[in-house]
Chains A and B, each alone.
Chain A
Amino acid sequence: MEPPWRCGVRLVWQPLRKQRDSRGMASTGPSVFAISDRPIDVTRLRSELESHAAGAAVCFEGRVRDHNDGRAVHGLSYQAYVELAEAEGARIVAEAHDRYAVERIVCVHRIGELALGDVAVWAGVSAGHRGAAFDACRYVIDEVKARVPIWKREHYVEGASEWLHPGA
């Protein structure tokens, strides 16, 4: 069986999510969670946050770091259960919309082989004011890390590699 994380190009925009504009009305701006097996185009994702109702936009980039837990790292592999990851990610984005007064939310997580400095996850939020934008961005990235079925394998400079399963 072909590994599920190598099945073609994955950048699936979720169906439009009901949002509330500055007057509390539902609008149809896109909010998105996606898994991508191609490099994350940060410029394109930032443009997805554009809204004339937004006075603030906050973005978080999670990047591949050259060390973890005292070991030198030269790269990461990410694997996802794509169908469930996208469903759970969409739930997180919807929760953030319910909790915070935001305009748009975009979050994309990479899978595949990543080198040092590559963007592994990108989360961006636009909102009327900066407080909600910071809070919602923090909520999205924290929940994605805790709940979405994605796994990283660290490749160490000394040669070994290991899947990370926190909480052992």
Chain B
Amino acid sequence: MNYRLLYFASLCDAAGCAGETISSNAPDARALYAELAARHGFAFTPDRLRVAVNGAFTGWDTRLADNDEVVFLPPVSGG
């Protein structure tokens, strides 16, 4: 399946891009993050991140569908 990833803040720096489309067999966000963390050297463990799929917060075990927009959100620092 193809997933559209967006990266923000230090994850953007680590990935070296603001987003990418990847082909993956990961069935859920947890598996997808493990794959991306290995590829890009993301330092965050999943317990420090939140997940959003297609613009809405969701859980790590939500099954992903082809062409989903998936975002792993590092701890926020607005204000």
A2-B18 CB under 8 A given contacts A79-B8, A83-B55, A163-B10: yes
B56 near A84 with CB under 8 A, answer yes
A146 near B55 with CB under 8 A, answer no
Query: Residue B9 at the A interface, CB < 8 A?
Result: yes
**A interface: dominant SS:** mixed
**B interface: dominant SS:** mixed
A145 near B78 with CB under 8 A, answer yes
The interface size of chain B toward A, counting residues with CB under 8 Å, comes to 24
Query: Residue A13 at the B interface, CB < 8 A?
Result: no
- Cβ distance B41 to chain A, nearest Cβ, rounded Å: 15
| In-complex Cβ contact of A144 among B9, B57, B78 (8 A) | B78
Report the Cα distance A165→B8, complex, angstroms: 11
Task: List residues 67-102 of chain A with CB under 8 A from any CB of chain B.
Answer: 78-81, 83-85, 87-88
Task: List residues 30-50 of chain B with CB under 8 A from any CB of chain A.
Answer: 44, 48
A81-B79 CB under 8 A given contacts A1-B19, A149-B8, A165-B74: no
Report the Cα distance A55→B72, complex, angstroms: 43
A1 near B77 with CB under 8 A, answer no
A150's nearest neighbour on chain B, judged by CB, is B78
- Cβ distance B29 to chain A, nearest Cβ, rounded Å: 15
- Cβ distance A117 to chain B, nearest Cβ, rounded Å: 16
A162's nearest neighbour on chain B, judged by CB, is B10
Report the Cα distance A141→B79, complex, angstroms: 8
- Cβ distance A142 to chain B, nearest Cβ, rounded Å: 9
Binding site for B on A (CB under 8 A): 1-4, 62, 78-81, 83-85, 87-88, 109, 120-121, 141, 144-153, 163-168
The 6 closest A-B pairs by CB, nearest first: A150-B78, A145-B79, A151-B9, A164-B77, A165-B75, A3-B18
- A-B pairs with beta carbons under 8 Å apart, 28 shown: A3-B18, A4-B6, A62-B79, A79-B8, A79-B12, A80-B78, A81-B52, A81-B71, A81-B73, A84-B57, A84-B73, A87-B55, A88-B57, A109-B78, A121-B79, A141-B79, A145-B76, A149-B76, A150-B76, A151-B74, A151-B76, A153-B9, A163-B13, A165-B9, A166-B75, A167-B75, A168-B48, A168-B75
